[in-house]
């Protein structure tokens, strides 16, 4: 190759379509039947679907998390209604570009009797003056304005534009919907990865769908990266294992490394001695760490963690003692302040133990990983704007102070997790009292039902 020769593009073996276009873009649905999710606004006979199919549209704002189909839905609407379509990004464009587009929209209407759909992606990034520039053209009917935003339009879109638009909320896709999208991409030979002859280990699609957190773009990008990173075998097949998919999805972990293996051995010995309620061993390992030059503030951070992880509400004062040790060391420094650490170590070692808080929080994060970002129930959302109130925020919320004993039977967890119990106090230490309180409230719930 000489200096001015264009480098050859290496196309993945077995892929005949324009592979440079990301899979998420190639797999965009072409019509409403292909479009996954958002059945609450697009089901048969819904107001929005009828309006799209009849071509009788007003300006719209699509509000929802990334990867839920806001931009795609705008493209489908333009295709079905056979309108002049212009996609416009708030990130890269300004008022000058807006005026050019509006002039073209007026020509389309005057000479071709054709309306223009203007999709403004990330409309929340426009300032007030930029948003104001759309208003005259929206009012005259020169354009059908479609704004796409991940932010609450009540706060990010000017009231004049908001009042002239219909707001639709798009929800994160559920795991089944994401699996259908992924399966299509695996099998589609024209737009997807069908020509790569992918063979997937059980649970690969389940895992990607779970970890994508309702975002179709993340799911498809992960699948494509995993597929292209897998080497074909002699039969030109690519076997994607769950391990490879996990590696493609994971975030890089940061590792704390200060003094090598012995450092970790001794902090482990201190933690386990505290957990085992042995004040003598705990004091010895504390002394070994201080004598070895360990940063006392590192030790006290571990003691504060221990107070929550291994004692918790069995003795709520343990956390206060550990935090007070940090303040005492800050005030006194070494060596005087080290005595406060020794006092704390003895208190923590002899305190009643419970890991109920630790177990409860692990269960919580386990459910978060499995169930993606579940929406907050409408009745416990705060309706701070009229739009939010119209959408049902805060409807039928029961205010506990308006009821006897300042308590009411109410559901606060997302619908998919109703009835889930995370915190299970022991009969030891102060948790015995907490358990009595919980049983009293449970009794009140049963009585109210």
Residue 278 CB neighbour total at 10 angstroms: 15
Query: Which residues are paired to 62 by β-bridges?
Result: 148, 168
Q: Say how far apart CA 26 and CA 13 lie, in whole Å.
A: 18
Task: Give CATH for domain 175-249.
Answer: 1.10.8.60
Would you state the pLDDT for residue 177?
A: 96
Helix axes 242-249, 216-228, angle to 10 degrees: 120
Q: Say how far apart CA 107 and CA 84 lie, in whole Å.
A: 11
The side-by-side arrangement of strands in the sheet containing 116-121 is 84-89, 116-121, 143-149, 59-63, 165-169
Residue 399 CB neighbour total at 10 angstroms: 9
* CA nearest to 23, candidates 175, 166, 188, 242: 188
Q: Are strands 116-121 and 84-89 parallel, antiparallel or unpaired?
A: parallel
CATH topology of domain 38-169: Rossmann fold (3.40.50)
Q: Say how far apart CA 215 and CA 448 lie, in whole Å.
A: 40
Give the DSSP letter of residue 319: H
Would you state the pLDDT for residue 261?
A: 60
Q: Say how far apart CA 149 and CA 64 lie, in whole Å.
A: 7
- What pTM, to 2 d.p., does this model score? 0.68
Q: Is the dihedral of CA 120, 123, 125, 128 positive or negative?
A: positive
Helix axes 338-350, 279-291, angle to 10 degrees: 150
pLDDT tens digit at each of 449 positions of the chain: 444 444 444 555 555 555 568 999 999 999 999 999 999 999 999 999 999 999 888 899 999 989 999 999 999 999 998 888 888 876 666 777 878 888 888 888 888 888 889 999 889 888 888 888 888 888 888 889 999 998 889 888 999 999 999 999 999 999 999 999 999 999 999 999 999 999 999 889 999 998 888 899 999 999 999 998 889 999 899 999 988 888 887 643 223 234 556 778 888 999 999 999 999 999 999 998 888 778 898 899 999 999 999 999 999 999 999 999 999 998 898 889 999 999 999 999 999 999 999 999 999 988 888 887 788 889 989 999 989 998 999 998 988 898 888 888 888 888 888 888 888 988 989 989 999 988 988 888 887 76
**For the chain, what's the residue count?**
449
Q: Say how far apart CA 104 and CA 110 lie, in whole Å.
A: 10
Residue limits of CATH 1.10.3710.10 in the chain: 376-448
In terms of Cβ atoms closer than 10 Å to its own Cβ (0-12, 13-18, 19+), residue 425 is: buried
Q: What's 376-448's CATH class?
A: mainly alpha
* CA nearest to 32, candidates 1, 84, 77, 68: 77
Strand locations in 64-103 (E) = 84-89
Task: Give kind and range of the element (H or E) at residue 438.
Answer: helix 431-448
Any idea which residue has 């070494």 for tokens? 334
3-state secondary structure of 296: helix
Would you state the pLDDT for residue 15?
A: 55
How many CA atoms lie within 13 Å of 233's alpha carbon, on the beta-carbon side? 8
Residue-by-residue DSSP string for 32-79 = TTT--S-HHHHSTT-HHHHHHHHT---EEEEE--TTSSHHHHHHHHHH
Task: Give CATH for domain 261-350.
Answer: 1.20.272.10
3-state secondary structure of 238: strand
């Amino acid at each position: 190759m000489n200096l001015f020769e264009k480098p050859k593009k290496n196309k993945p073996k077995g892929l005949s379509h324009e592979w440079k276009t990301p899979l998420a873009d190639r797999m965009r649905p072409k019509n409403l039947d292909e479009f996954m999710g958002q059945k609450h606004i697009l089901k048969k006979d819904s107001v929005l679907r009828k309006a799209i199919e009849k071509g009788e549209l007003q300006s719209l704002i699509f509000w929802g998390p990334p990867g839920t189909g806001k931009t795609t839905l705008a493209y489908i609407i333009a295709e079905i209604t056979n309108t002049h379509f212009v996609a416009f990004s708030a990130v890269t464009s300004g008022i000058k570009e807006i005026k050019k587009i509006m002039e073209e929209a007026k020509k389309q209407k005057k000479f071709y009797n054709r309306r223009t759909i203007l999709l403004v992606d990330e409309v929340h990034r426009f300032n007030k003056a930029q948003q104001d520039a759309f208003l005259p053209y929206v009012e005259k009917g020169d354009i059908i304005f479609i704004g796409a935003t991940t932010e609450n339009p009540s706060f990010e879109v000017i009231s004049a534009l908001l009042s002239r638009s219909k707001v639709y909320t798009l929800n994160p896709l559920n795991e089944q919907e994401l699996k259908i999208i992924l399966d299509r991409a695996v099998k589609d030979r024209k737009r997807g990865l069908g020509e790569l002859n992918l063979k997937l280990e059980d649970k690969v699609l389940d895992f990607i769908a779970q970890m994508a957190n309702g975002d179709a773009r993340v799911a498809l990008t992960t699948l494509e990266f995993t597929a292209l990173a897998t080497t074909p075998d002699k039969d030109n097949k690519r076997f994607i294992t769950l391990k490879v998919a996990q590696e493609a999805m994971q975030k890089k972990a940061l590792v704390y490394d200060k003094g090598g293996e012995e450092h970790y051995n001794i902090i482990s010995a201190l933690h386990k001695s505290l957990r085992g309620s042995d004040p003598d061993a705990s004091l010895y390992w504390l002394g070994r760490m201080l004598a070895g030059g360990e940063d006392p503030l590192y030790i006290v951070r571990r003691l504060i963690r221990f107070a929550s992880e291994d004692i918790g509400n069995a003795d709520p004062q343990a956390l206060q003692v550990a935090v007070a040790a940090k303040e005492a060391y800050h005030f006194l420094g070494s060596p005087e302040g080290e005595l406060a650490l020794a006092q704390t170590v003895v208190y923590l070692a002899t305190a009643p133990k419970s890991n109920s808080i630790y177990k409860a929080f692990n269960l919580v994060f386990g459910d978060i990983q499995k169930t993606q970002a579940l929406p907050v129930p409408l009745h416990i959302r705060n309706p701070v704007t009229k739009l939010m109130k119209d959408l049902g925020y805060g409807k039928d919320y029961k205010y506990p102070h308006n009821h006897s004993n300042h308590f009411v039977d109410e559901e606060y967890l997302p619908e998919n997790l109703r009835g889930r119990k995370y915190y299970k106090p022991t009969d030891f230490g102060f948790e015995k009292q907490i358990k009595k309180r919980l049983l009293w409230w449970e009794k009140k719930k049963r009585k109210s039902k």
